[in-house]
Each structure stands twice: as C-alpha cells, then as structure tokens.
Amino acid sequence: MLQNLFEKKSVAMATGWLLIGTHFMLFSRLLPNEQGKLGHDYAYNLPLLLDGYYWFLNNGLFSVPWFTPSFCGGMPLLANPATFYFSAVQFLTFLFDPLTSIRLTFVLFAALGYWGFYLLLAGVFSTSRAAAILGSAIFLFNGLYAYRLVIGHLEFHAFMLVPFLAYFLLCRPAAGSVLRKWAGVAHVVMAGVLIAYMFMSGMAQLLIPSLISVALLGLLKGLTDRAGFSLCHFAIRFSVAGLLSLMLSGVKLVAALAFLENFQRASYLLPGVSELSRLLVLVGRSLALGGGGIDAKTLISNYQWNLERHEFEYGVTIVPFLLIAGAILLDPGKFSRWWRSAGRARLLGYLAAILLLLLIPLPLNFYSPAWNQFLKSLHLIKSISNFFRWFTVYIPFLALLAALVPDRTPALKPIRAMVVLVGLLLLLGQNLLTDRIFYRGDKILNYDPATIRAAYKKTSRDGKPPVIKNLVAPRTWSGKPILTINRNDVLAVGDSQLLCYEPMFGFRLEFFPFQTIHPGPALSERWGILNLKNPACYMYPMENQCEPGDHFRIEQWREAEQFLAFRPFTYQTSKLQKWANRVSLITLLAIATFAAGCLAVWARQKARPRRPGG
C-alpha cells in the first residue's frame, strides 16, 4: 500500500511542498535570528541591494548600473564578479524591502532546486516518484545553499538552478509535432540563459564547479542508459548553451576581466591539506556531517584567513552514503555483470570520465610547497583565496546516485517505498538534530539590518534616493581607523564609505589605491582633482587617459555630479567592451524574439481543434 501511495501524483506533490516548507521553517529562523541579526556577510550584500534600489528608482528597469558612488569613494559595480544587480533577489527589492526579498529568494530557489531535481530524476532518469522525492529532498537540504545564504552569500542562490540546467541539456523531446521540435531548441536556449544567470547574479566562484556537476550528471545518464543517451549530442547541446551564455553575459564578463586585470589578489596564501588521507576524510566528513566539528586550524596548512564552519558546509547527510553502501553490499555482482555485457569499452570510458571529474577538487585543495607555488603561478587561480568551495561538485552527484539506488537495486526495489520513507526520516532527523549554536551566536550572525531597512522604507515612501555628498571613514577617539561591520551602511544617509568592505580591494583594503582621497565633501577640489574616484579608470584607464584609482578632474565636475546622483555619466570604454555590449544586447533581443515565437507556436497548437477520436 505504501508503495502505491508514493506513486500517486498528488501525494508526490504534497510531499514535495511539505519538504520545502519544512526546509524554510528550519533555516528561515536564521534569516534573521531571534535577535534580529543576519550573517556577517550581509554587511556587504544588504547595502548592495539598497544601492541597486537607488539606481532603479533613478534610471528604471532597463538601465545598466556600471558604477556606484556608494562604496570606496566610487567603484565599478557591474564589473565586480560578486555583484548581483541582474538577479531575482535584486529585482524583488523593487517590490519588497531587502530582508523580505532575501527570505522570498531563499524559499523560491529552494523550491526551484527541489522541483528541478524531481523533474530531472522522473523525466530524464525515469525513476519512480518515490525515488525522485528522496533525491530531490537530499539536494534541497544540501548544506551549501542553506548555510551560505544564512551567512550572507546571496550570490550562491543560483546554485539551486543546477538541476534545471541538467534537465534542459539532457531532456530530448520526442519527435513529432512542431511544438516538440521547438521545445528541443528551447531547452538549449533555456540552458544558456541559466548559465548566464548564474554568472550575472554573482556566482562566479561556483560557476565552473556547477558546470562540472552538470557534466557528471550527464555522464551518469550515459552510464545508466546506454540506448537513450548520446554523449556527442549532450556535448553539442552543452557547448551551444555555453556559447549562448557567453554571448548573453559578455557585457559583464569583459568588464569583470578588465577590472580583475588591474586588481589581482595574488599575494594571498592558498590553503590546502598536506596529507591526501586527511583531505579525503575532510571531503567525506563535510559531505556526510556538514561543517560542525571540523577544526580548520589543525587540519589546513598555509592559511592566511580563518576558515569558519560555513566554509565546510556541503552536507547531504549520511543518507546517500548508506544507500550507496547498501547497494554495493546487496548487489555485489552488478559491476561484474556490466563488465561481461556488451560495450565494455564504453562503460570504462564513462567510468574514467566520471572519476576524472570527481578528482578535480582534490589537487586544488592539496598542499605541498612546490604544488602550491605552481597553482599560484596560474593567471586566474592565483587570485582565489581557497578552493574548498569546489566540494560543491559532489552534491548533485551524490543526491542523484542515492535516488537511483532504490530503483536499480533488485533487493531494494520491492521495498522501495519503505527505503525512501526511512531515508526521508533520517534526512530530516539529522537536519533537525544538527547543532546550530554556531549560527545563532553573535560571532557569525552579528549584522543588524535595521539601518538599511529604515533607509529602504524612507526611500520607498519618498520615491527618491539620496545623493552621495560626503566620504566618511570610522575612527576611534584618537583618530585611528576602525573597520566596523556595518560601515557600508552609510549610503543610507548619503555618504560613501572610504574604509569600505570590498573584497576586490582586499579583505583589509590591501590593494585599494587611496592616493589623495580623504574624508570630506565628495566634490571638494585640491590641485585640480576632486575628492572622488573615477570608476571608469579601474577598468578602462587607457581609454580615459588615467590610471586605476585616479580621481575625477575639476573639468569633469558635471560627470562627477551625475555619478553621485546615481545617474549615468560620460566616459570611454574599450573596443572589446563595446563589442561585448552589442553582442549581449542582440542576443537578449534574439532570445526574447524566440520566446515570443515559442509562445505563438504553443498558442496556435492549443487553439487548433482536435480531430474526432484524436
């Protein structure tokens, strides 16, 4: 009876929404906590949301915010890889206050992650509904998404789109009607849009690991479905989607590369684990149990910055490991049957490719002096502060493997519903019993959003944001600079923070070109230059006859005024940037036209009268 119950569509839908609701109730208590405080990195992201709201009020929905005067005396915005103006969470602030937008984003992308994984399992891997529920629940409760958003890493919300990306690349609509033929193209277009969204919404650090995850899911499809999968077809679709995403997000990519070229953080140490056995234990422990109890100080070598618990929250619980171990013990002869079957070379090829991709995070997190020196010599890698986030690769893979076990293990198939029920209970039990005192304390959740919320409320009521007038820097009574956690909040009263919290310039502003900038009026003049950074110089110094970090000159008074009022101003860009802007705009218009065409074909198909008996 339980077996049949899980296979009912209504039960599967109700179970899914119940799990999503449970997930929200469990983690939303930390958004904010009982004291009304948020994770410390919201000190960076919440002011960014308010800054984006200011730009929207002054310029409308279709204007690109290239720069912002709100932080560091003026700096690039779109070119910063971690910023997320073009994202769901930012667009929600056009309707709701920032804290409400964060909570809505949290539940929205949790739901997208769950139902995307469910669609992937049931629609592509043809699992039972019960198995699809289990795999989707494991992915939903992954530690990366929940704890990163709790800590304030809003840019990681797009990770939950990985299942939909895999679905669009792996799903092959059946041949037949015109609508289904259009659907095949639409799937590739949607995949390209999702990859572009991941980058545009600030998830640059997790983009490559997420794409590796999708590749792993594709290879797993080839391993388990020899007849219905074409590796060549998958690779072509993946490549086309990737090219489309580059065209769509080229406007940000070219700008980001120009900014990064002038501000590489190559002097930071790259941490790692000096023993392979300890590295493997770290991977397994963080995936099975999360970040609790991991002592980074004794485990990690060559670290410069403290690695807190959230850096190791990748947990999918013990459920996938128990299921995989159970499948091996209950059906030990499965691999030998595969080996004796036809297509041995194909099988070995898929297994080798899967193993190779699974191994990628290990050398990036292994430490030895010579190997570390080599990694630090690589152009983009040398600016990264750690690679532990690449453990993300394993999350979708383990969730999918776990879902396949009840359906593909002969000894478990008759009791599949019971296996799924026990798995769900273990999953929920481990999440409910996990000690989260670390996240409830004032060490990690220590940012008060009250200032930003009050500024949003006032601006929403008045309909006009403040103009940035002064540059400020917090100091002690003796005049010594201090780095308060809420220092970026001063945009709420029309000030720009000189001692800004901006990782692009270093965690302690080690790479920030102060020059003559100082606290005081932004338009004050000395020796022919204004007390305000010209943000175009950070990206296009040659085109604007300046150096990165230079200020507006007195003859650029009008441009500086526009900039301080959250308005576009005149500056020069590189030829490559101009081409990227055109390509991104043309691609966006082409996708919009294609979407309209798809809707027209769909409407025409629906309006066509059916034949009698058809």
pLDDT tens per residue across span 228-269: 788 899 999 999 999 999 999 999 999 999 999 888 777 788
Strand partners, 497: 71, 472
Q: Which residue has the higher pLDDT, 177 or 361?
A: 361
pTM over 0.85: yes
3-state secondary structure of 281: helix
Following DSSP, what letter does each residue of 410-446 receive, concatenated? TTTGGGHHHHHHHHHHHHHHHHHHS--HHHHSTTTS-
Which of 212-221, 224-233, 501-510 is least confident? 224-233
Largest CA distance in the chain: 89
**What's the confidence (pLDDT) of residue 262?**
87
Look-up: residue for tokens 């690679």?
Answer: 387
**What's the confidence (pLDDT) of residue 614?**
44
Q: pLDDT (tens digit, 9 = 90+) per residue, 268-318? A: 889 999 999 999 999 999 999 998 888 888 899 988 888 888 899 999 999
**What's the confidence (pLDDT) of residue 179?**
61
Q: pLDDT (tens digit, 9 = 90+) per residue, 115-147? A: 999 999 999 999 999 999 999 999 999 999 999
What's the mean pLDDT when you consider all of the chain? Answer: 91
Q: pLDDT (tens digit, 9 = 90+) per residue, 13-55? A: 999 999 999 999 999 999 999 889 999 999 999 999 999 999 9
Query: DSSP secondary-structure letter at 493?
Result: G
**433 in Cβ contact with 442 (< 8 Å):** no
Q: How far apart are CA 444 and CA 147, in angstroms?
A: 11
Would you place residue 340 in the very low, low, confident or very high pLDDT band (cuts 50, 70, 90)? Answer: low
pLDDT at 342 over 90: no
Q: How far is CA 63 from the centre of its chain?
A: 23
Q: Which residues contact 171 (CB under 8 A, 6 or more apart)?
A: 123, 124, 187
Q: How far apart are CA 192 and CA 376, in angstroms?
A: 31
Angle at 505 between CA 503 and CA 509, to 5 degrees: 95
> ω before 449 within 30° of 0 (cis)?
no
Q: How far apart are CA 375 and CA 367, in angstroms?
A: 10
3-state secondary structure of 597: helix
Q: How far apart are CA 556 and CA 312, in angstroms?
A: 48
Domain spans of the chain, in order of start? 2-30+87-434
